[in-house]
Amino acid sequence: MSILELIIRRTAFVLFIVVFPVGCTKLLTTNPTPSASVAPTPTSSIFLVASDFGDQWPFTVDGELDCLPVSETTGSVILRSGERIYGINGIAQNSGNFAPIEEIWKDNPQIPGAKMDIGDVIDRGLKICDQK
């Protein structure tokens, strides 16, 4: 099963488990009560923004960092931004299932020809995999 199929199945499962019962409950209620706030679905992904990193932010976009486990010891670190999903670590980049990181990876202004360090982002992403 490819990483993309895994993402699609996971998203469909979450939508079915979370959204479908909530919608059905509202339809079956004969005396609706004022709407109560619904707690957000717990997730282990994190939203990263440039201000979290200051001058060290390595990308041209903000996004949701996640990790898709590939084995018991590693996973594909990805960044969702808008309609795109970028492969951040080598496993994700080499899978061919994600947009190339080069589209959003900033040049390092202090080292001509080099890119910004993404080690901290990869470490955060792999910690997400550890939680799954």
Domain boundaries, the chain: 41-131
Q: Which residues of the chain have pLDDT under 50?
A: 4, 6-7, 11-42
Q: What is the pLDDT of residue 29?
A: 37
From CA 76, how far away is CA 8, in angstroms rounded?
A: 15
Q: What is the pLDDT of residue 32?
A: 37
Q: pLDDT (tens digit, 9 = 90+) per residue, 12-24?
A: 443 344 334 444 4
| pTM for this prediction | 0.65
Q: What is the pLDDT of residue 75?
A: 94
* Strands across the sheet containing 46-48: 46-48, 63-69, 75-81, 84-87
